[in-house]
Structure 1
């Protein structure tokens, strides 16, 4: 799995959300050039929680890239009759 490198900076931003009600929360937004994900926390996320979410995001992105490449290769093989 180490052969799939994202190659883009993974950015993390933390936002506080308050709708002037009793329900307030924090949102952690993790993004890379082509995708982003949001995590909701009842309290401000710690650096450890942010690192953990970033690792999960990178792991998911690598799996997505691997699956996308395999699907692309299979499609090209089906279309041309030659393996790519």
Structure 2
């Protein structure tokens, strides 16, 4: 992975902690909207982590492919990015 681990790892660990908190909230039969707000917070933080990973992929893997890869490699990298962007927009 070419993404900055110092940026990504804390985000993922925070999301993991939030998920544990959500499970506890569910066990405690907490208010639905409070649980939903926490789920949205996890989604947001995972989105931030994913953006950093994609940024690094573009700056590293895709850039390397564009400057020294075969046309097939370039096409594969572009298809991968388009597939992720499509999933992100859902």
Same fold (TM over 0.5): no
Shorter-chain TM-score bucket reads 0.3 to 0.5
Structure with greater helix percent: 2
Structure with greater strand percent: 1
TM-score by length of 1: 0.43
